[in-house]
Amino acid sequence: MKSKKQTKNNNKKISFLSLPSTKLSIIFSILSACILIAVAITLPLILNYPPNSINTPFDIEMSGIPYVAQFACIELIALIVICFVIKKVFKPIDEWYKNKDDLKYNNSRNIDTIRKRCLNLPYIIFLVELIIPSIICFTILSITGSHEKTMILKITTLIVAFTFLLAVTSYIFTKSLFRKLLSDIYRKDADIGMRINIGTKILMQVIPVCIIGMLLIALVGYTKSIKSSEDALFDVYSKNLSILFDKDETYTYTRIRNLLEKLLIYNDSASVFILSEDGEVDLLSGPAPSSFVIKYTLKYAEQNNGKTYDSYAVDTQGATIKLNTQDGSYYACILYHTNSNEALIYIIATFILVFSLMLVLLIIFVRSLSKEVSMISESLSHISDNKDVDNFTTLPVISNDELGDLCIAYNNIQNMNQENLQKIKNSQDLLIERERLASLGQMIGGIAHNLKTPIMSISGATEGLSDLAKELDMSIGNPQVTEEDYHAIVKDINNWLDKIKTHTSYMSDVITAVKGQAVVFSEDQIYPFTVSELFSRVDILMKHELKNSITKLIIKNETSDNDLIHGNINSLVQIINNMISNSIQAYNNSEKEMPINLSAKIDNNRIIISVQDFGPGISKNVQDRLFKEMITTKGKEGTGLGLFMSYSNIKAHFHGNMTFETSSEGTTFYISLPIYKN
């Protein structure tokens, strides 16, 4: 383990710039700066700002903050807020990154927290980047008071479109950072965090691009149509003013007023007024002009060939002519609206219609794509969950793209899987046969010993019968031999014959049991049998091993002959024998006689067979792996096949289940089997 001094030295090597939060902040800063510069350049062009209205003394006079400074403020405030949020939410990640070599920071609970944040943060940051710049922009424009509400709405709408672009680009660029972090802390059982399906991810990235494209087209189209209308109106009103007035002539104020009243008006909402050089307005008709148009007219109207503007937008503009009088210069002005509500409504309606149609088509496409991906993932899940692995299924290749390649790869995996399953099955059969033969070899010695006693008894019986035959032969014709003597000889003969019959019956049972274990298991051996038959064979085959180990098998059968098990009786005998052998070994050559309980009962229409010992129990390490892999605690003497193959056999061939309970006072294995019904 590293010392505190070593850990401290390692932490010093990680610079501030290499922290994940710093990297993300730098990425966001660069992207947001690029996008805001693009907005600052394109906004005046798209909305057709008046000449000399931004980044000039006039701009400062009207807004208090120059145009460039406004965007700098938006960028600065957005950077401060978002970087603060990033630093705050990234604090645990930075802490882990700085101390990732320290075991204290690499516990599973801490890793799960880090993973969850890395999985969820891209979407949180996406929303933060989407919302905060728009709010800041709207707030700054509202505070300056230099923009009309419609203009603020237009600018904010454009900013929202670009912040969508910012959120998407930063999401794409930061995914590599999060991918690297997630790879470093991946664990097999790791949490997947907030689930976002692939369709939603595609919509998150495609819809913003579509929105910004359609908004830009709509705004540019609207602006250009208004610009054309404005140019036409300006030409008309400018020509009318030129007809009424001569720039080189000196007029009286009254004459200017009288002539201006004769000006032909094409718009009921137009304003006609006279503007003095000191900013005083004499309104002849229409709404009063704003301070913007007054100041702009005095500063720039002459430079613009008499064109003036009422705001930063093109919606309200005017035509002016500067006239000389004896009292000074005056501007004869007409202010008119160039916006078209019908055109605006048409553009908005078209935008909504086209966007809705595009969204519906996109959702249908995304669902189709998601369905293809889900089909593949579900099929792979069936394999990983060990479902239907024996049932070969082929995915139809319905596309000539990467998804089609994935289907082909899946089908290839299925082919390989089937081949591997067959190899495993063949190997499994071979291992089972080896285990069966090994068990049979151990059993033969005991069987030979079991047969020795009845054979010796039969041999003795034949000698006894031989003696009785000689005695009977010698008694024939002997007058001293009475009828009772003959009956006694016959009685002895019958006694010897009963003993021979008993021993031969026992030998027949032993041979039947051994033969069942010696023959290779096959489908022909599957038939219904009773628990009594099962336990009888187990008792015969285990008798010698139980006797040698000073172990007593206590059999308790609570089932009837009507409760049948369907399957290969020899296979189940071997499974139970293996469990009894394990129980014998659990006593570790005890010097006193130890019990093993073999019992059967009915529970919920199932036959429950149990093998119970009173040994030291199974260790936790072995418990977790018992039915999952081939494990043995017998060293070189064990194969590890016993319980693993027994469990597989019970599940596959008997449609049952195998469980166990263990403690320091003993272990009980349970086999649950369905009752066979004709």
Q: Please state, rounded to an integer, the average pLDDT across all residues of the chain.
A: 76
**Average pLDDT for 140-149:** 62
Listed by start position, the domains of the chain span 4-194, 228-342, 390-520, 526-678
525-543: average pLDDT: 86
* CATH pick for 228-342 out of 3.40.50, 2.40.50, 2.40.128, 3.30.450: 3.30.450
Q: Which of 296-310, 367-381, 599-613 has the weakest average pLDDT?
A: 367-381
- For residue 212, the model assigns a pLDDT of 72
d(CA 97, CA 19): 7
Region 367-389: mean pLDDT is 67
Q: CA 571 to CA 202: how far, in whole Å?
A: 56
Paired tokens of 598:
């073999």
Mean pLDDT over 669-675 rounds to 93
pLDDT digits (tens, 9 = 90+) for 470-494: 777 777 777 777 778 777 778 878 8
Q: How confident is the model at residue 635 (pLDDT cuts 50, 70, 90)?
A: very low
Average pLDDT over every residue of 303-315: 81
The answer to whether 209 touches 66, Cβ cutoff 8 Å, is no
Q: Which residues contact 378 (CB under 8 A, 6 or more apart)?
A: none
Confidence of residue 85 (pLDDT cuts 50, 70, 90): confident
Instruction: Count how many residues are written for the chain.
Output: 678
**pLDDT bucket at 273, cuts 50 / 70 / 90:** very high
Checking if the pLDDT of 612 tops 90, the result is: yes
* pLDDT tens per residue across span 2-58: 444 444 444 445 677 778 888 888 887 888 788 788 878 887 877 778 888 888 888
Q: Does the pLDDT at position 555 exceed 80?
A: yes
- Nearest Cα to 528, choosing from 557, 562, 559? 562
Q: How confident is the model at residue 636 (pLDDT cuts 50, 70, 90)?
A: very low
Q: How far apart are CA 372 and CA 400, in angstroms?
A: 13
pLDDT of residue 530: 93
**Domain covering 526-678, topology:** Heat Shock Protein 90 (3.30.565)
Decide: helix, strand or coil at residue 265: coil
Q: Which amino acid is located at 135 in the chain?
A: I
pLDDT of residue 638: 43
pLDDT at residue 564 in the model: 92
Where does the pLDDT of residue 610 fall: very low under 50, low under 70, confident under 90, or very high at 90 and above? very high
- 394: region left, alpha or beta (phi > 0 left; psi from -120 to 50 alpha): beta
Tokens of 388: 């239907």
How many C-alpha atoms does 367 have within 13 Å on its Cβ side?
A: 6
Q: Which pLDDT score is estimated for 4?
A: 45
| AA letter at 416 | M
Q: What is the pLDDT of residue 103?
A: 60
Q: Which of 27-36, 153-162, 512-521 has the highest mean pLDDT?
A: 27-36
pLDDT of residue 334: 92
Residue with tokens 């190899």: 423
